[in-house]
Structure 1
Amino acid sequence: MTFSYAPTIAIQQRSCDQVIYDQAISAGLSPLTARLLAQRLEASDLTQAKQPDLHFWIHPQLKHLQHPRELKNIDQAAQLIARAIQSDGLIVLATDYDTDGVTSAWVGYQSLTEYLGVSPDRVACIISERADGYGLTQELCERIVALQHPIDLVISADQGSSDEQQIAYLAERGIAVCVTDHHQIPVAGPPNSAASIVNPQLEGCGYDKQICGCFVLFLVMSQVRQTLIAQGVLPADAPNLRPLLHQVALGTIADSVSLKSPNNRAVVKAGLVQANQFTHPMWQAVQQAHPQKPSQLNAEFIAFQIASRINAASRVNDVQNAFRFVNAQNIAEALDAFAQLDRDNALRQQQQTAMMTEAIAQAQAQLVKAPFCIVIALQGNPGIQGIIAARIGERYGLPCIALTQLNDQEYAGSGRAIVDEVDLISAFNAIAEQHPHLFNSKGGHKAAVGCQIPVAELALFKQEINQQIAKQLDHRRPKLTLWSDGELHPQQLDLATLNEIDALEPYGRDWPSPRFDGHFDLIAWRCVGKESQHLSLKLAHSHDKIAVNAIFFNPAEDLIEQFVALNETEQAKVHCLYQLQRNEFMGRSQLQLRIDYLRLI
């Protein structure tokens, strides 16, 4: 008999801040909207805000953005870039390989060439290669040094704060580096060899620390524009950089920064308006070529359907395909690039499926021993291991570290905490104190980490990470908590309720898309999908029998087996966690429930 493990799942309702709820009701908002706001905001958010008004979150506007000059060192950086613009050497944009980095490259390139008067032949975009690792790596610096023209300035975006050694290497060769970034500053401090560094994480910086790298660069370039106007280089009515916000929104959504941040909400909302005008070739290509495009692009679609394709380029092929897509000059070029990203994403999915099969087998073998953390060592693409760690962790309700072998000597790893009480970076730091040789490198935060460890130390690593996680959990088996916004009345299961929910867009990290739970009668069900891997359901609310359609994507195999085993004469009931979804077909919209969790009663 095959061993099967299912996590202990607890559906828990989000707490509701009474101060927020009362203020929302007083402002004339509906009880549902008031409840959703009170489950995402606390009274302290209002007291800390510069404009303590709920509409600051409900209707975010660009006029409410913090001023760029609240970013520490931004004037110094703007002066530095302005001087380079007025010189005649190369300006190099050195960015990360993920969506935040790719959009940073585009925002930097467009700012310089379309708004700040720099000839395109004076701007070089060098995007990191995933295989070389994160940051201003030695390989990236050598590519910069190898450029044939004199370099006035290197502008990093979405990286650079931890790269003193490489920045010093460039400085020794007469190449100045202006760092723009949003990642944590290392314990040793910011890179002293940088000509300037702009990062909201800098000590003494009062700017929102939740913004992404692309947003930081956008603010810096906006300040460069102001500097050039003040110097008389640009006219006072020079166009501002707002038309670039659709890419800043893409980078913000893709990097999973907080969408509770009023700054991020304003930028994403404005950027989504631009994207939905479909004037840029890349969005026109999405409109024409994506088979599942909704009538209105939203943050969820962009995160899972666009950013995933852009990230696939660096995972399995060439990140330049992604830049070619966002930088397309016409619809034909954009469609060609999008088709390549589709192929890259399909290959990523194939590799992910193969790695996932092996990961499940390894996880099941470990679960017999009731670990507190799953550690799997795979052959495959290191660019996919983070996805594997998340999928395995979610499947079994446990922290997971997924490792892939880089060479005979070293594993690269990605970890996901999954369990709220687990702090992975603290666990890594505790291990490193006891075993300094165990990590060749490590980094990350509470919920997600990355590392490189010697192949020979795999057994010790498994032992130590399990001990640390067990200690954090007080040796109690963790529960996988699924958060609910409560129940909906049967009369609320309609498109009007969904429209009310949509009004609180954008949703994402720290501002989660509403999920509700409830008990339903099971009226009918069938398996759908190419491999019959999904469940299509017809449910009736237990209180007044109002029927509604539902879809459950990729449920566990044992749940499908439970459905198959149902007695046809028996009236089954289900308890499920769901989101309201608009099912669009042939120009008509119909409500359906998208099931995230279901239990037969």
Structure 2
Amino acid sequence: MGLPIVRRNIEYSPLSNELHPVLDRIYRGRQIASINELDHRVSGLHHYRELKGIDEAASLLVAAIQTNKRIIIVGDFDADGATSTAVCILSLRQMGHSNIDYLVPNRFDFGYGLSEGIVDVAHSQGAELLLTVDNGIACLAGVSRAKSLGMQVIVTDHHLPGNELPLADAIVNPNQKECTFPSKNLAGVGVAFYLMLACRAQLQEKQWFSSHNLPVPNLATLLDIVAVGTVADVVVLDKNNRVLVHQGLQRIRSGKCRPGIRALVEVARREISHLSAADLGFVVGPRLNAAGRLEDMALGIECLLCEDDTQARHMAAELDGLNQQRRAIEESMKAEAEMVLQSVVLGEATMPSALVVYKEDFHQGVIGIVAGRIKEKYRRPTIAFAHQDEQIIKGSARSVPGLHIRDVLDEVNRLYPGIIIKFGGHAMAAGLSLPAIKLKEFEVAFQTITDRYMAKAGELFTIVSDGELADNELDLSLAKTLRQAGPFGQGFEPPLFDGIFELVSQKLLQEKHLKVVFRLPSGNEVDAIAFNVDNKIWPNIAAKWVQVAYRLDVNVFRGKETVQLMIEELSVYEG
């Protein structure tokens, strides 16, 4: 019972005598070879000039600002899209431009990205320059429509380009060919932030701020928003992204963040000074996403733009309510999806290499979350489908480490033409649409391609640990050190430890979470919690010793801080 635990191979010599030995071990286990790689100062960011097309894009924006052109930002209906939109709106306002607005396509009416329909809406609102954020690289028809209506178009995106690029006036995307920007892992909000840096620099060169009696904008004040979007979009936290997230987290923890972000943290009942990168992904991001998943993403964007604490709290409360609705829908859909899978998922030996789930009444706003939850449970790439209209179904894909889901869809599209209508995405997440009558044909093709990749993915079925912690290391001091040590996230995984513990007590909370107490060899006891356990097994199982993979965390309750183990894997120890 439970996945096998393996420990990281650590081959490097210690990084620094100043680091806590456990922290040193953690960094070395993540291939950190020099203490310089842990320098999170803003000066360590790659320069915006390394992004292909950024000078052209900035020049177009500067000209639009100087001539007061009508700029409309076309965003996306997730947290990355919302934060990208907010960063651009706030930056351009600080640069003295007020003839600006945004559109986020309602997923139920327009679908994803710069569609021809959303271009027509922008045109009716007087758009002279369209700026896409977190989308556009695959929107050939939409860009063509905008150009035919006389609009200028700047595409900023981070998704992988196809064989053909849109005929925009400028494209900024670190993943386009011949772009020398070293970090290919920028989120959409990171790309947008870099464009704003370039735009500010060009305005400074033209003496814009001094001639208009404007202060030069301090764009670092927007890094709290950049951090939220970067973590929420689950991009790889390479060195550049870690700098962005670290700087944003520092602003949030010190209370120097946007009123909307502060309100979202408060409504989730989290201590802002204790916030971690994981909290941005599990607390702030989902509440922003809830607006785009169920209603209109404008509520999430307006919460980020809001300057008033009281209004921000009202918006955050509304977003929290939507998030609760989203959770209820998601739980229902997940249960239905697992029932659908029962006919094929019989056990590890018979489980397909990839999972495809669909029901006619699935809500397309939460299929991405459902795909993610099923992927986590079964450790298989998963696509959940919902109806877009009577003939077309829309899928949201979530992948596992080592399998690039967008590349898999590209291969399906090349080897089995005529099934997929359109697709896009990146390594860990993607979206696609296809005719409903082609679903079974797609499922066979998808699983055929995935078989080849998953045959090499044995490491997916193990827990990778940073080793054991001694009794005297299971303390509040180390827990706080680890919380401040990141930022950890995708591609730079949070510290995970393992051990064998004596089980003192266990009880179920809310019928799905297991609260336990472990006794250490020293006689001391430590609390632990495991979320979403199988309540047919726990807490009914009789066991004296258990093997645990866990994260060391700080639990804050009524102002009191205690150590708590966050259990990732739990099984009876039979040694």
The TM-score normalised by the length of structure 2 is 0.92
- In the alignment, is residue 533 of structure 1 matched against residue 512 of structure 2? yes
Q: Which aligned pairs between 1:543-554 and structure 2 lie closer than 5 A?
A: 543-554=521-532
Kindly state the Cα deviation for residue 9 of structure 1 after the two structures are TM-superposed: 2.4
- Equivalents in 2 of 1:361, 1:276: separation in Å? 42
1: CA distance, partners of 2:209 / 2:457: 64
Q: Secondary structure at the match of 2:437?
A: helix
| Residue of 473, 487, 492 corresponding to 2:473 | 492
For residue 334 of structure 1, report the CA deviation from its aligned partner: 0.4
Task: State the 1:512 CA deviation.
Answer: 1.2
Task: Say whether the 8 Å CA contact 1:484–1:516 is kept in structure 2.
Answer: yes
2:571 aligned residue: 599
Deviation at 1:333, TM superposition (A): 1.1
Task: Write the letter of the residue equivalent to 2:438.
Answer: E
Check conservation: 2:40, 2:242, Cα contact below 8 A: yes
Deviation of 1:235 after TM superposition, in Å, equals: 2.3
What residue in structure 1 maps to residue 555 of structure 2?
583
SS in 2 for 1:105: helix
Q: Give 1:372's match in structure 2, choosing from 350, 353, 356.
A: 353
Task: Give 3-state SS (helix, strand or coil) of 1:257's partner.
Answer: coil
Deviations 1:545-593 (A, max 9, x none): 4321111111013322xx4242xxxx61100111111111222111011
- Which whole-Å CA distance do the structure 2 matches of 1:465 and 1:310 have between them? 31
Instruction: Give the deviation of 1:42 after TM superposition.
Output: 5.0
Letter in 1 for 2:235: V
Structure 2: gaps (5+ residues)? none
**Residue among 321, 332, 335 paired with 1:354:** 332
Pair 1:197-2:178 in alignment: no
Do the aligned partners of residues 473 and 101 (structure 1) sit closer, same or farther apart at CA in structure 2, a change above 3 Å counting?
closer
Contact kept in structure 1, 2:160 and 2:424, CA below 8 Å: no
Contact 2:159–2:425 (8 Å) recurs in 1: no
Instruction: Work out whether residues 398 and 478 of structure 1, in 8 Å CA contact, stay in contact via their aligned partners in 2.
Output: no
Map 1:450-465 to 2 at 5 A.
Answer: 450-465=431-446
- 2:129 maps to amino acid: L
Matches within 5 A, 1:173-188: 173-188=149-164
Post-superposition offset of 1:297: 2.1
Please identify, of 317-326 and 283-292, the stretch whose mean Cα deviation from structure 2 is larger. 283-292
1:408/1:564 CA distance change after superposition, 3 Å: same
Structure 1 pair 472/200, CA: closer, same or farther in 2 (3 Å)? closer
Q: 1:481 aligns with which of 433, 456, 462?
A: 462
CA distance in 2, matches of 1:137, 1:184: 18
1:348, CA displacement in angstroms? 0.6
Cα distance change on mapping 1:481 and 1:360 into 2, 3 Å: same
Match among 358, 367, 381 for residue 399 of structure 1: 381
Contact 2:354 2:380 in 1 (8 A): yes
Instruction: After TM superposition, give the deviation of residue 460 of structure 1 in Å.
Output: 2.5
The one-letter code matched in structure 1 to 2:9 is: S
Task: Tell me the distance in 2 between the aligned counterparts of 1:258 and 1:467.
Answer: 27
1:462 deviation in Å? Answer: 2.9
Equivalent position SS for 1:129: coil
Q: 2:101 aligns with which of 124, 132, 152?
A: 124
Partner of 2:9: 15
Percent of pairs identical after alignment?
29
1:31 matched residue in structure 2: 21
Are residue 448 (structure 1) and residue 420 (structure 2) matched? no
Is the alpha carbon distance of 1:478 and 1:204 closer, same or farther for their aligned partners in structure 2, counting shifts above 3 Å?
Answer: closer
Return the alpha-carbon distance in structure 1 between the equivalents of residues 554 and 435 of structure 2.
49
> Is residue 384 from structure 1 mapped to residue 366 from structure 2 by the alignment?
yes
Q: Name the CA distance, whole Å, in 1 between partners of 2:545 and 2:232.
A: 38
Question: What is the CA distance between 1:475 and its match in structure 2?
Answer: 10
In the alignment, the residues of structure 2 paired with residue 428 and residue 232 of structure 1 have an alpha-carbon distance, to the nearest angstrom, of 48
Q: 1:413 aligns with which of 390, 395, 399?
A: 395
Change (3 A) 1:441 1:334: same
Structure-2 change in CA distance of 1:434 and 1:67 (3 Å): closer
Cα distance in 2 for partners of 1:383, 1:518 equals 40
Distance 1:457 1:448 in 2: 21
1:23 shift after superposition: 4.5
Which of 174, 198, 217 is 1:223 aligned to?
A: 198
State the 1:500 CA deviation.
Answer: 2.6
Determine the C-alpha separation between the residues in 2 that align with 1:458 and 1:288: 43
Who is 2:263 aligned against?
285
Alignment-mate amino acid for residue 108 of structure 1: C
Structure 1 position 89, deviation (Å): 2.7
Deviation for aligned residue 1:123: 0.6
Alignment partners' CA distance in 1, 2:379 and 2:185:
27
**Offset of residue 84 of structure 1:** 0.7
Partner of 1:105: 85
Aligned residue pairs: how many? 563
> Over residues 85-132 of structure 1, what are the superposed CA-to-partner deviations in whole Å (9 max), with x where a residue is unaligned?
111331111112211111111111111112x111x2x11111222222
Change (3 A) 1:152 1:414: closer
- Conservation of the 8 A alpha-carbon contact between 1:486 and 1:516: yes
Deviations 1:362-397 (A, max 9, x none): 112211364333222122211211211121222233
State how far apart, in whole Å, the 1-side matches of 2:202 and 2:340 are.
Answer: 57
- C-alpha change, 1:422 and 1:71, in structure 2 (3 Å) is closer
Alignment of 1:304-319 (within 5 A): 304-319=282-297
Per-residue deviation, 1:474: 4.3
Aligned to 2:247: 270
Contact 1:372–1:477 (CA under 8 A) maintained in structure 2: no
CA drift of 1:407 comes to 2.8
In 2, Cα distance between equivalents of 1:345 and 1:354: 14
| Distance change in 2, residues 1:72/1:467 (3 Å) | closer
Residue identity matched to 1:578:
Y
Once the two structures are superposed, residues 447-485 of structure 1 have per-residue CA deviations (whole angstroms, 9 ceiling, x without a partner) of 433222222223323333333333434499996222211
Shift of 1:414: 2.1
1:204 counterpart letter in structure 2? E
The structure-2 alpha-carbon separation of the partners of 1:591 and 1:439, relative to structure 1 and needing over 3 Å to count, comes to: same
Q: CA deviation at 1:309?
A: 0.6
**Structure 1 segments unaligned to the other structure (5+ residues):** 1-5, 44-52
Moved more, 398-407 or 352-361: 398-407
Provide the C-alpha distance between the structure 2 equivalents of 1:90 and 1:241, rounded to a whole number of angstroms.
22
The change in CA–CA distance for 1:408 and 1:268 in structure 2 (over 3 A counts) is same
Partners of 1:463 and 1:235 in 2: how far apart? 63
Partner of 1:64: 44
What is the TM-score normalised by the length of structure 1?
0.88
CA distance change for structure 1 residues 111 and 302 in 2, over 3 Å: closer, same or farther?
Answer: same
State the Cα deviation string for residues 159-187 of structure 1 (Å, max 9, x = none).
Answer: 12222322121111110111222222221
- Rounded to whole Å, the distance in 1 between the matches of 2:398 and 2:158 is 21
Q: Is the 8 A contact 1:517 1:575 kept in 2?
A: yes
Shift of 1:425: 4.0
Give the match for residue 86 of structure 1. Answer: 66
Give the conservation status (yes or no) of the 8 Å contact 1:155–1:177: yes
Q: 1:141 to 1:294 in 2, by over 3 A?
A: same
